[in-house]
Structure 1
């Protein structure tokens, strides 16, 4: 019996060592990736990390929970297509954008404006994905002359601190550790994908290109620890009130799936009810990530931007 126990212990130690070495290697690559592709700007409202790619009309890309400028760039390119100068940012508490005492959506919008001043960009298409919605809305509200079109993808529109789903609480716990998050993605990738809005049955029906996009959404969450401060704060964010949304004059397209359980469909209905110049594009299914609908979404957004510019 002692020999069996010893063999089991040795095997477990060997397995852990193998996994940890693999983890360290992949995290090194991920950390190098996020450091090499962005820069940090200091403003009077705080520091902001950002990356710029492409040529054409400017598009400000604002990521969701668990993201950063890299996630924003990934989602923005997929939703908008080619032909833009993409300016993707990391919100307060994500990667190299530090979390500060006054990490409000008002200050976040002010930092966006300061960044655009620095880049000498007068006006942008704004894209807010998921938890990036509140600061995208705030920017459109506070800087209407700098906003040509507002695109909201599966976006948060109401305070979520009172309605945090259990799945989100589980995700937040896993994401507190780089190793635990990495290990869960290795061992239970499809289950975790389901939890963040990529249902397995939809994934299996995707084209190879869209499957790669889905994989990148998950992999671009590495490393998680420098994203954790912002991730934890998401439940405290206070979006604009419905009354304030009613003063937004920027043409707005709202895209949401009715089966989204992370940011439920009533968030889209709330936006459409209060923003006067808005169009709601809804899908019966697709989950939070809406990956199966990316081609349709891209066309609808293109048409909307063309019509409203």
Structure 2
């Protein structure tokens, strides 16, 4: 064998070995993620169909409605990061996520009826409702359709209707690749991109990668934890598909009577600020907080968000005043 042929053979063996190691690592990690996703929630059989949920902690009941790419696990993480402790967190997996199937009508209105039925099933007469991103849609519908169930409404980077500038996704080349991976339900594509080019996924999740790179280590870890929380992608794809093709229309927001706070960021790459401003202008007495930076994951603003939320809940008489600014 020539020297060139030997070199090429060695390179081929090295590449094959590296690919084999990567595949084994992927299979092991995917197996652990699938196991965690299948074990963490309970399933309630309701009139709208089975709804998976987690029920964690003690204190005032709080319904945590996750955004696109989520599930009950993301709902729990959202409360831990952005709201704080001392709540009984009820976190459902919305239609198409994890073990909650897609019903014939997966609209936010029907999802809201499912939220209300779940609260009734758990003997929770009223809860603080947190809707994050696409989860804000069924949170608003719940507040309109079942106002007696909602003690307060918290909308964070809400992917709601705006008459002037709709929620959208940046059409950059990297985002198109990430969108392809999502639409293909590509577990390996998402996993490999997270390992090789995480900035592609960070941008796809609505945050400028440079903002994350300049953030403290704790915030960088939180963002990457969120990136990994989308895995296994194939267990969330049906829900992502629903969230990606919404038929948004104007709702009678002026009928909402629950105390409301809405939070967004000017540099959210999903453009949720116009929707947040529109909702705040329609909901009577709604409080609007807008950060100049933070993106869709509110990078660098977590403590401020938590303080604002707890102060809001204290002013509504739902937690002690001394607990309002707690971090």
Pair in the same fold by TM > 0.5: yes
Residue 171 of structure 1 is aligned with which of 171, 178, 198? 178
Task: Indicate how the Cα distance of structure 1 residues 248 and 290 shifts in structure 2: closer, same or farther if over 3 A, else same.
Answer: same
Contact 1:135 1:239 in 2 (8 A): no
With the length of structure 1 as denominator, give the TM-score of the two structures: 0.93
- Alignment-derived partner of residue 210 in structure 2: 201
Residue 234 of structure 2 is aligned with which of 225, 243, 252? 225
C-alpha separation in 1, matches of 2:166 and 2:287: 27
Larger Rg: 2
Task: Indicate how the Cα distance of structure 1 residues 76 and 270 shifts in structure 2: closer, same or farther if over 3 A, else same.
Answer: same
Contact 1:164 1:235 in 2 (8 A): no
How far 1:163 sits from its partner (Å)? Answer: 4.4
Task: Indicate how the Cα distance of structure 1 residues 205 and 231 shifts in structure 2: closer, same or farther if over 3 A, else same.
Answer: same
- Asked if residue 256 in structure 1 is aligned to residue 256 in structure 2, the reply is no
How far 1:169 sits from its partner (Å)? Answer: 4.5
C-alpha separation in 2, matches of 1:129 and 1:171: 21
Secondary structure (helix, strand or coil) at the match of 1:107 reads helix
- Asked if residue 186 in structure 1 is aligned to residue 195 in structure 2, the reply is yes
Residue 150 of structure 1 is aligned with which of 150, 153, 168? 153
How far 1:203 sits from its partner (Å)? Answer: 2.6
- 1:136-177 CA-to-partner distances (Å, cap 9, x unmatched) read 111111111110111111111128999443255433312321
Contact 1:61 1:89 in 2 (8 A): yes
Gapped regions of structure 1 (runs ≥ 5)? none
Contact 2:134 2:158 in 1 (8 A): yes
Residue 293 of structure 2 is aligned with which of 275, 279, 285? 285
- 1:210-251 CA-to-partner distances (Å, cap 9, x unmatched) read 333222111111111010011112133234514x11211111
Task: Indicate how the Cα distance of structure 1 residues 70 and 184 shifts in structure 2: closer, same or farther if over 3 A, else same.
Answer: same
C-alpha separation in 2, matches of 1:170 and 1:158: 26
C-alpha separation in 2, matches of 1:170 and 1:150: 35
Gapped regions of structure 2 (runs ≥ 5)? 318-327
Secondary structure (helix, strand or coil) at the match of 1:8 reads helix
Q: Which moved more, 1:93-102 or 1:212-221?
A: 212-221
Secondary structure (helix, strand or coil) at the match of 2:307 reads helix
C-alpha separation in 2, matches of 1:72 and 1:206: 23
Contact 2:167 2:270 in 1 (8 A): no
Secondary structure (helix, strand or coil) at the match of 2:281 reads helix
Contact 2:30 2:232 in 1 (8 A): yes
Q: How many residues align?
A: 308
Moved over 6 A (4+): 159-162
How far 1:96 sits from its partner (Å)? Answer: 0.6
- Alignment-derived partner of residue 112 in structure 1: 115
With the length of structure 2 as denominator, give the TM-score of the two structures: 0.88
- Asked if residue 33 in structure 1 is aligned to residue 36 in structure 2, the reply is yes
Contact 1:130 1:155 in 2 (8 A): yes
Contact 1:172 1:231 in 2 (8 A): no
Residue 301 of structure 1 is aligned with which of 302, 305, 309? 309
Pairwise CA RMSD: 2.0
C-alpha separation in 2, matches of 1:148 and 1:258: 28
C-alpha separation in 1, matches of 2:268 and 2:70: 18
Contact 1:149 1:251 in 2 (8 A): yes
C-alpha separation in 2, matches of 1:214 and 1:238: 29
